[in-house]
């Protein structure tokens, strides 16, 4: 049968072909830019480009309508102008200025514990034991983007360093100083792709 209206989630953007689709609407398109993911703009631009590309794939022209509360965001402006190269250039400049990948390195450390009080107390102890490293910056502790997971309260540190620093060695030296209670868990991700 023919489809007049299709309502879906992000999965609609992933490889499906709807040859007669002429209009795509995205509600709250900037929601993906919330939550502390340093690659949120990149991911949002990629997803919205894919979704918009679903319309007008056959003979009939297509159109995409995008609702945003951040129309001045570089990702949204580039999308509206169909300017991928411009978006990539801005993203590159910002990352270079801030020393973010690929111009610097990152590590994410997440602590979790059964109670918020316990994880907060341990996180404050841990930050005091961070080694001094030339050019290394430690941000946090702060609630992780997913602050409670499976009944455990989570706190996150982000560690930023220049490319020439052995970030794995820095993190290993820091972890070697720590004595965690049995109820506290720690995970470390060097050069994380996701920040959740």
Domains within the chain, CATH numbers bracketed:
10-98 (no CATH), 105-190 (3.30.70.600)
Res 43: pLDDT: 87
Res 15: pLDDT: 67
pLDDT, tens only, 34-52: 766 788 888 889 888 888 7
CA distance 145 to 85: 30
pLDDT, tens only, 168-183: 999 999 999 999 999 9
Res 83: pLDDT: 93
Handedness of CA 72, 75, 80, 86 (dihedral sign): positive
């Amino acid at each position: 049968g023919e489809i007049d209206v299709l309502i879906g989630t992000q999965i609609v953007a992933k490889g499906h072909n709807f040859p007669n689709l002429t209009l795509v609407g995205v509600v709250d398109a900037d929601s993906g830019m919330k939550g502390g993911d340093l690659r949120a703009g990149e991911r949002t631009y990629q997803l919205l480009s894919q979704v918009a590309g679903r319309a007008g794939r056959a003979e009939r022209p297509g159109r995409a309508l995008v609702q945003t509360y951040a129309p001045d965001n570089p990702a949204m402006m580039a999308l509206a102008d169909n300017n991928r190269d411009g978006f990539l250039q801005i993203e590159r400049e910002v990352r270079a200025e801030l020393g973010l990948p690929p111009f610097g390195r990152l590590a994410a450390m997440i602590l979790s514990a059964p109670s918020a009080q316990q994880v907060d107390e341990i996180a404050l102890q841990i930050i005091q034991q961070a080694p001094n490293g030339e050019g290394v910056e430690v941000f946090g502790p702060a609630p992780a983007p997913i602050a409670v997971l499976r009944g455990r309260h989570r706190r996150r540190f982000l560690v930023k360093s220049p490319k020439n620093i052995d970030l794995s060695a820095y993190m290993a030296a820091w972890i070697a100083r720590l004595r965690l209670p049995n109820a506290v868990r720690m995970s470390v991700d060097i050069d994380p792709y996701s920040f959740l």
